[in-house]
């Protein structure tokens, strides 16, 4: 580890192999908490590269018992979090809309970290199990087009980093890589980031990780979701080629709303918002989900344009298909013993 720390302190980047070696060392019995803390702090101070992000993600995914190996025709729409917008659970609600439109989605998520209610918190309140086994996940992906992967459950090996990150109390590379660590080997992916400078880094990392197609979005107001509050910055990845664009609400035929108009609350309140949207209740929450689900359907290739994706999302909700995906997931969850907290 010392040689890698010396490079980072000198503001030198680690190669993919060096990053994987350093990360693997953090999982050995020989590593100390001080070494892990120094490693994360030095990376943060230097500024992570796409190769360094790819390296740590590959190691983390390989150590998950949920790792699927071959690429699956599935996507995820998880964001990095950290935008401090206190919005409702946009990507989680959108996931059911995406599944209702026929796209398989392996929804990766966690409890609340920087918001009032994380994806795991709201889904747990709705009756979705956080204890799915790999076999449960695969069955739900096949039969219901959606399954939830609770990050601490599917990444049990990350415990060496958990206490160190808590003690450090500063942002680290982990604040950027969460969406990429989904152990399902995804074909396509939509990632939301709250820091615009992460757009090219995560787009390149997605390419290095083998995503055929992907979109990284920094929403208006620096949300880690697409926002109807103004200009959204996107990088579209397709077969290794990257294109930066801006997206406004009027581009997809949707009205504008302030960020205050999509605030959420505690798990009970956000669960009610989620259900209301899937029941087709119109308004700021509904339209925000149309934008994000539409963007995901474009990302997956199900829609040729983002505007076309918005219309597919509308059909998914208004037909009842999105709500049916939630109800099936809850029904299946009732048969799963609860093992995590």
Binding site, residues?
A: 79, 82-83, 87, 89-92, 107-115, 119, 165, 224-225
Q: At what angle do helices 198-208 and 50-62 cross, to 10 degrees?
A: 50
Task: Identify which of 48, 109, 94, 77 has the alpha carbon closest to the alpha carbon of residue 211.
Answer: 77
For the annotated binding site for anthranilate, the residues are 79, 110, 165
* Four-residue CA torsion sign, 15, 19, 21, 22: positive
Kind of pairing between the strands at 213-218 and 188-192 = parallel
Kind of pairing between the strands at 241-247 and 232-238 = antiparallel
For the annotated binding site for Mg(2+), the residues are 91, 224-225
Query: What count of other Cβ atoms lies within 10 Å of the Cβ of residue 45?
Result: 11
Q: Which residue reads 């801006």 in tokens?
A: 246
Considering only the C-alpha atoms of the chain, give the largest distance between any 2 of them, rounded to a whole number of Å.
Answer: 58
Rounded to whole angstroms, how far apart are CA atoms 172 and 157?
18
Q: Please count the CA atoms within 13 angstroms of the CA of 78 that sit on its side-chain side.
A: 30
| Residue 64: burial class (beta carbons within 10 Å; 0-12, 13-18, 19+) | buried
Buried b (16+ CB within 10 A) or exposed e, 237-271: bbeeebeeeebebeebebeebebeebbbeebebbb
Instruction: Order across the sheet with 75-76: list the strands.
Output: 146-150, 105-109, 75-76, 188-192, 213-218, 232-238, 241-247
Q: Which residue reads 């989904």 in tokens?
A: 182
Q: Residues with Cβ < 8 Å from 51, sequence gap 6 or more?
A: 13, 14, 15, 16, 19, 208
For the annotated binding site for 5-phospho-alpha-D-ribose 1-diphosphate, the residues are 79, 82-83, 87, 89-92, 107-115, 119
Phi/psi at 175 (nearest 5 deg)? -75, -10
Q: Which H or E run contains 162?
A: helix 159-168
């Amino acid at each position: 580890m010392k040689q890698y720390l010396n490079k980072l302190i000198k503001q030198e980047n680690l190669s993919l192999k060096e990053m994987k070696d350093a990360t693997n060392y953090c999982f050995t019995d020989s590593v100390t908490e001080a070494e892990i803390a120094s490693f994360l702090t030095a990376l943060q101070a230097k500024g992570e590269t796409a190769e360094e992000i790819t390296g740590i993600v590959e190691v983390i995914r390989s150590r998950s018992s949920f790792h699927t190996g071959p690429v699956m025709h599935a996507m995820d729409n998880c964001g990095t979090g950290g935008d401090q917008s206190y919005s409702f659970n946009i990507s989680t609600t959108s996931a059911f809309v995406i599944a209702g439109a026929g796209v398989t989605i392996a929804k990766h998520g966690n409890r609340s970290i920087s918001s009032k209610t994380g994806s795991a918190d709201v889904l747990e309140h709705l009756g979705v199990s956080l204890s799915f086994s790999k076999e449960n996940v695969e069955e739900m992906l096949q039969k219901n087009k959606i399954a939830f992967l609770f990050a601490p459950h599917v990444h049990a090996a990350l415990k060496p980093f958990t206490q160190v990150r808590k003690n450090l109390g500063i942002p680290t590379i982990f604040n950027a890589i969460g969406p990429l660590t989904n152990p399902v080997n995804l074909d396509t992916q939509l990632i939301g980031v709250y820091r615009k400078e992460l757009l090219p880094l995560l787009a390149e990392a997605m390419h290095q990780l083998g995503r055929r197609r992907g979109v990284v979005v920094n929403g208006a107001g620096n949300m880690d979701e697409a926002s109807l509050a103004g200009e959204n910055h996107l990088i579209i990845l397709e077969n290794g080629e990257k294109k930066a664009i801006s997206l406004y609400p009027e581009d997809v035929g949707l009205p504008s709303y302030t960020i205050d108009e999509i605030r959420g609350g505690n798990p009970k309140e956000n669960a009610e918002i989620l259900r209301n949207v899937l029941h087709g209740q119109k308004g700021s929450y509904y339209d925000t989900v149309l934008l994000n689900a539409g963007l995901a359907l474009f990302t997956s290739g199900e829609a040729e344009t983002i505007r076309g994706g918005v219309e597919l999302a509308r059909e998914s909700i208004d037909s009842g298909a999105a709500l049916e995906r939630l109800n099936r997931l809850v029904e299946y969850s009732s048969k799963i013993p609860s093992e995590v907290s």
